[in-house]
Amino acid sequence: MVTLLTVTMIVGIAVVAGALVMRIAGEGGGPSMTEIRVGPGYSVKSVDHGAGDRLVIVLEERASGEEIVRVYRTEGAAVDYSIVEER
């Protein structure tokens, strides 16, 4: 029974260590996403680059005319982001 517990603990430590190594290795990553897509039911009324890393988008729902405000926190300068309307 002690042997089974020891083996279980060793496997558990190996799994945790492996997960940490994979998480650390995966953080470098590729290029950051700098495109925000707007769904086909909405049109963009205005875009404002707020304080530093804030992007404020005012959308209008085409069916009802209702205005929707979305605030995005960006990674880096908000002016580097582009808005793409899907049709």
- Residue 27 has a pLDDT of 58
This model's pTM is above 0.85: no
Q: Dump pLDDT digits (tens) for 12-32.
A: 999 999 888 887 766 555 555
- Residue 25 has a pLDDT of 63
SS (H, E, C) the chain: CHHHHHHHHHHHHHHHHHHHHHHHHCCCCCCCCCEEEECCCEEEEEEEECCCCEEEEEEEECCCCCEEEEEEECCCCHHHCEEEECC
Q: Which residues of the chain have pLDDT under 50?
A: none
- Residue 67 has a pLDDT of 93
**In whole angstroms, what is the distance from residue 42 CA to residue 65 CA?**
9
Residue ranges covered by each domain of the chain: 1-30, 33-87
